[in-house]
Chain A
Amino acid sequence: MARVVLVTGVSRYLGGKLARLLASHPDVERVVGVDVIPPPEDLGHAEFVRADIRNPVIAKVIKAAAVDTVVHMNVIATPVGAGGRSAMKEINVIGTMQLLAACQRAPSIRQLVVKSSAMVYGVSPKDPAMFTEDMEAIRLPRSGFAKDSVEVEGYVRGFARRRPDVDVTMLRFANILGPGIDTPLSRYLSLPVVPTVMGFDGRLQLTHEDDALDAVQVATFGHAPGTYNVSGDGVLMLSQAIARAGRVNLPLPTPVASVTRDVVRRFGFIDFTSEQIAYFKYGRGVDTSLIKERLGFVPRYSTRATFDEFLKAHPLGRVMPWDAPDEPAPVSTIGGASS
């Protein structure tokens, strides 16, 4: 079946790459990419339509192209580049509502794939070590991208109830990192001196950007709707990541850490929410066995390999006087301790 795919957020890094990849897929007849600004890079065989998902124009685009698959990539993690937090919230929440409203009216729609985030699980010291898809947040996120993701998921579930004929897949990604992508985490880890919270050390899980793109494609072409966690295998401690990057770890007592966060935020370099501080303190793990089992998706890069790829592509100039350790990437087991 030749498919017509609508991809939102194509002017951002992952969205653009995904539109190019989908356009070269043999089963896809046409890819329509939408965003408010023209994509910085060529979309290949994909078409670009300048449209804002925050207004009803999007319904016309869907109707005109007889779109059957919508891939919603336009849930964004950082207000830097979006024009501030309120604009970001509007893109994420109002944008999703408008998009879903348009989809609900479009009889041609058969499938919806939404990029969500593992941040919907929140962060707290009472969290289980690994979250499976059926678990709920112990402490619901209250700010920023994490809160947006929770709201987006809520609207998507609402849509799924109202249009039971549409296959809905949500992918909850652990932090996406890699050679090309620019995220709050990549900026944070690029600081020469990395401030951390004294006495705490979070477990980080990373998804390689290529794995993230693969996961979206697997979800688009596989026939197993549902909600899935996506992450590279294994975890990396925050302090370990800083050490591997050859950066200086600067542990700050909790009150100093929040002041530092405000300063860093004020200068607009990295937007840290209180969620992110909590994440660096306690970390989070998600169990990825469901997507492995149902969609056969096995990430190519472990968390550790993802981080090493990120380091290779960012010749930051090492601050600490040793080389990046280059032992073979470990094979770790999700779903328990390593054997």
Chain B
Amino acid sequence: MNDAQVIPLNPDRDPNEGKGSSFPGEQQVAGALRFLRRRLEGSYQVDDFGFDRELTHDLLIPSLRPLYEKWFRVEVHGIENVPSEGGALIVANHSGTVALDSLMTQVALADHHPAHRELRMLGADLVFALPFVGTAARRAGHTLACNPDAERLLASGELVGVWPEGFKGVGKPYSERYRLQRFGRGGFVSAALRTQVPIIPTSIVGAEEIYPILADAKVLARLLGMPYFPITPTFPWLGPLGMIPLPSKWHIEFGEPIMTDVFTEGAADDPMLMFNLTDQVRETIQHTLYKLLMQRRSVFF
């Protein structure tokens, strides 16, 4: 399930075959041409959710990697808490104005997990209504945050990521950094309970500082149909330059899994248990955030 799907290449369609020329990077150029050709011909696979494995592995993740390795210098802790196979639910804090934290988590799991796990994220419905963003999200393996989709993914053994704070988390002012917002209605807990997969509380430090929101231009946001319109020290003052994130140092810690297979079958219908579990996950993330913040020497190093 974790192997990247190999798309059989017809050797006689190799554009560089038999030319005999060799130059540095020939392999890469040939690979890129083959990739381009497959895209143009439509000979690639998507799964039922619209996840385009090849595009994600060969284009999206490599293009995020410099940001991950060089810009944010992400340090991953507790990756062993993520199982190598089978369904699991990653629940993390959301921040940073633009949801880069979820993408960085996706890179962390693809590059640094021994099984190179693919993270399937659950996104807000607004994401899927937007042009370009919605299609890109589906291609990258994300789907709508609703119980049927979450349960379908988890039941088929996928690693699912959810950011229950949603827009309240990403769009909160800088003064409230690392303070967790409300955790939705706890729908993620019921999905995990029904499919009996572990919940992995995940804490991300560093994302809060990439675009510090000093104010929210609510009128402008309403005009543009956006949940918030951020005013940061650089945006919108510097125009496109203001969209460059500040190079904060990131830590992603995958916490100890909370097992859900210890509960009985009807547990998902017990609201009290759901609230308790939701709180437990929230508290775990909040405390890990404080711990990571205490250990942090500076925002940028």
Contacts and interface: CB of A to CB of B under 8 A. Distances in A.
A200 B131 contact: yes
A269 B197 CA distance: 51
Nearest to B42: A243
B135 to A, nearest CB: 5
Contacts of B129: 125-126
Given A337-B153, A337-B158, A132 B148 contact: yes
Given A240-B42, A322-B37, A336-B153, A129 B131 contact: no
Interface magnitude class on chain A: 35 or more
B22 interface: no
A125 B40 contact: no
Interface stretch (B2-10, B97-105, B182-190): B2-10
B47 A338 contact: yes
B293 interface: no
A199 B135 contact: yes
A199 B130 CA distance: 8
Interface string B38-52: 111111111111111
Contacts of B44: 240
Contact of A334 (B48, B143, B149): B48
Consensus secondary structure, chain A interface? loop
A337 B141 CA distance: 10
B52 to A, nearest CB: 8
B47 A337 contact: yes
Interface stretch (A35-43, A81-89, A109-117, A323-331): A323-331
A322 B40 contact: yes
A322 B41 contact: yes
Residue of B10, B128, B130 with highest tally of chain A CB at under 10 A = B128
A254 B130 CA distance: 12
A339 B42 CA distance: 21
Interface in A226-268: 234-237, 239-244, 254
B157 interface: yes
Contact of A332 (B47, B131, B158): B47
Interface in A195-250: 197-201, 203, 234-237, 239-244
A167 interface: no
Contact of A126 (B1, B38, B144, B156): B144
Contacts of B157: 336, 339
A332 B158 CA distance: 15
Contact of B48 (A198, A200, A241, A336): A336
Interface in B124-181: 125, 128-132, 134-135, 138, 143-144, 146, 148-149, 152-153, 155-158
A189 B162 CA distance: 37
Interface of B: 1, 5, 7-8, 10, 37-52, 120, 125, 128-132, 134-135, 138, 143-144, 146, 148-149, 152-153, 155-158
Given A199-B132, A327-B8, 10 more contacts: A125-B125, A125-B134, A126-B125, A200-B131, A237-B52, A242-B42, A244-B41, A327-B7, A335-B155, A338-B45
14 contacts: A125-B144, A199-B135, A200-B135, A240-B44, A243-B42, A283-B50, A324-B41, A328-B8, A332-B45, A336-B157, A337-B153, A337-B156, A339-B156, A339-B157
